[in-house]
Amino acid sequence: MVRASAAEQLVQVARTHPGECAILATGPCTNLALALLMEPELPCLVRHVVVMGGAVAEPGNVTTAAEANVYHDPEAAEMVLSADWPVTMVTLDATMSTWLEPPDLDRIESATTPPGAFVRASLHHYLRFHRENYGRNSCPLHDPSAAVVLAHPSVATCVNAPVKVELRGEHTRGTTVIDRRDNADPKPSGTPDARVVVALDRDRVVREVLDTVVGPRI
């Protein structure tokens, strides 16, 4: 039995439920770009796309200028951010504000729910990475923040602007270039600007994440 690829499954679901689906992309945009190539009408079938990736003023976390998800497949990110659908880009500028504090970590350590236990087990590697690279016994909620933005858009402060991904620069490949000029070059006809998240309500994001995976406070 041949199983459908991730891109094929995206297309199948979108065709089966036209106009109903929102897509959350929390890694490189490879599968989503492949789905666009398979089904050129995909932007008409999808309600909304949220991408965790890119940066505006925040330094990159792979190179000096590039965020990891975009850097690992910049051509795919360029295709997704340029497609004719409503797209929100949750940047490092926003997610780097969502570091877990000691009380948040205590809640995770004491969690008794299966999702809480999974997060607790997964968090050790993540905490070690940030302790070694940032000198903090904590970590930011990059991907979970994007999920909260999809479910609760009001947590986000955004700017609407065209976004391009640098594909050729020796030192800048994977950089997201946000054109915030009043006379910014227009995108192709009918293509909306990206909704670029530049800040988040940190406390609400963390509360939504912990209430979901650990359980609400009693």
Residue pair 47/17 in contact by the 8 Å Cβ criterion:
no
Residue 218, C-beta contacts closer than 8 angstroms, at least 6 positions apart: none
| Cβ-contact 197, 157 below 8 angstroms | yes
Environment class of 135 (CB within 10 Å of its CB; exposed 0-12, middle 13-18, buried 19+)? exposed
* CA–CA dist 52, 67 (Å, integer): 10
Q: Which of 124, 125, 142, 171 is catalytic?
A: 142
- Active site annotation includes 142: yes
User: What number of CA atoms fall less than 13 Å from residue 134's CA on the CB side?
Assistant: 13
Q: To which residue do tokens 């968090």 refer?
A: 123
- In this structure, what is the dihedral angle of CA atoms 92, 58, 75, 39, given to the nearest 10 degrees? 30
Position of tokens 């995206």? 10
The residues annotated as belonging to the active site are 142
